[in-house]
Amino acid sequence: MSALRTALRAHWPEYLMEAAGLGLFMVSAGVFGTLLEYPGSPVRQAIEDPLARRAIMGALMGLTAIALIYYPWGQQSGAHYNPATTLTFWRLGRVKSADAALYVIAQFIGGALGVLAVTAALGARFGAPPVSYVATLPGASGAVVAFVAEVAIACVMMLMVLTCISSPRLMRHTGVFAGLLLAAYITFEAPVSGMSLNPARSFASALPGGLWNAWWVYFTAPPLGMLLAVELRRLIRRRAHAGCAKLNHNTRRRCIFCGYGMPNSENRDPETTATAETARRAPASNSQPIRSA
């Protein structure tokens, strides 16, 4: 408990940023999902093709993810916004246990508050089928197929992240690639599993309507897929990565993982920050002066 209290006192801004990030993502998903799928919406009536609506939803949510990753709050917290991502970096030794636990709690709370805010604003239009709180539910092929699909998309997403954050050339583009993958998943994979990738995101949508269908898929498959990516990366490169636990480290905001910009901080592994420092020295339009939280 003392470690949790110490972490909370020192890193509470990052926890709030993680909660706010997933909360805003869920607000975006709820508003756009209602516009595109609620039968009384003029947008839904104008676009009859389900694939076209999913493509638009994918583009909107991909842009939302990119914006949140590169927003100053995302630059500082690392823009995990996903317990599976946080647990994967914890498994790699890039996030301390106390920070990992508090990140996960913040993500669940933030996502739930985002969905509840949309529920309060849109009411039955958001909660009634087919919108159904933008819940992640298995497709016609069932829960087992949905589980396999979720493992696969989570694995590919984390392989991309690990590859990018270990490369000074690619590091600054990690958020863009994540947004593009998310858009593709929503467009093409959503009919199979509902496209979760994120236990906190699925929990948030299930909570107000009690939509716990195949909940085990969305609580187990994303972490399993991302941890599988770590092992695949080790097989390919003999090690997982040498980067920090941030999706966007091409920034001068403080980092609670590698200690950058924090006084009296000790790096547990000097190699953790080597790639980030190389990328940070390169010109970047989104770099800004170091600031305290």
Helices (H), 78-136: 83-91, 97-122, 124-127
> What's the longest Cα–Cα distance across the chain?
58
Q: Look at residue 268 in the predicted model and tell me its pLDDT.
A: 45
By 3-state DSSP, what share of the chain in percent is helix, strand and coil, each rounded to 5? 70, 0, 30
CB 246 within 8 Å of CB 85: no
CB 260 within 8 Å of CB 276: yes
Between 123-137, 175-189, 225-239, the lowest mean confidence (pLDDT) is in: 225-239
Mean pLDDT of 36-51: 97
pLDDT tens-digit map of 192-217: 999 999 999 999 999 999 999 999 99
Residues 6+ apart with CB under 8 A from 98: 3, 4, 6, 7
Mean pLDDT of 231-235: 89
Q: Look at residue 73 in the predicted model and tell me its pLDDT.
A: 95
Q: Which amino acid is at 253?
A: R
What pTM did the predictor assign?
Answer: 0.89
In whole angstroms, give the CA distance from residue 1 to residue 236.
38
Q: Look at residue 246 in the predicted model and tell me its pLDDT.
A: 93
Q: Which CATH architecture has domain 2-281?
A: Up-down Bundle (1.20)
Residue 20 phi, psi (nearest 5): -65, -40
Residue 135 phi, psi (nearest 5): -70, 150
In this predicted model, which residue has the larger pLDDT, 17 or 290?
17
Q: Look at residue 20 in the predicted model and tell me its pLDDT.
A: 98
In whole angstroms, give the CA distance from residue 289 to residue 292.
10
Residue 112 CB neighbours (<10 A) = 21
pLDDT surpassing 90 at residue 272: no
Q: Look at residue 7 in the predicted model and tell me its pLDDT.
A: 92
pLDDT surpassing 60 at residue 251: yes
User: How big is the CA angle at 82 (ends 74 and 144), to the nearest 5 degrees?
Assistant: 150
Q: Look at residue 289 in the predicted model and tell me its pLDDT.
A: 35
- State which H helix or E strand residue 1 sits in: none
Reported as a pLDDT band with limits 50, 70 and 90, residue 284 is very low
Q: Look at residue 287 in the predicted model and tell me its pLDDT.
A: 37
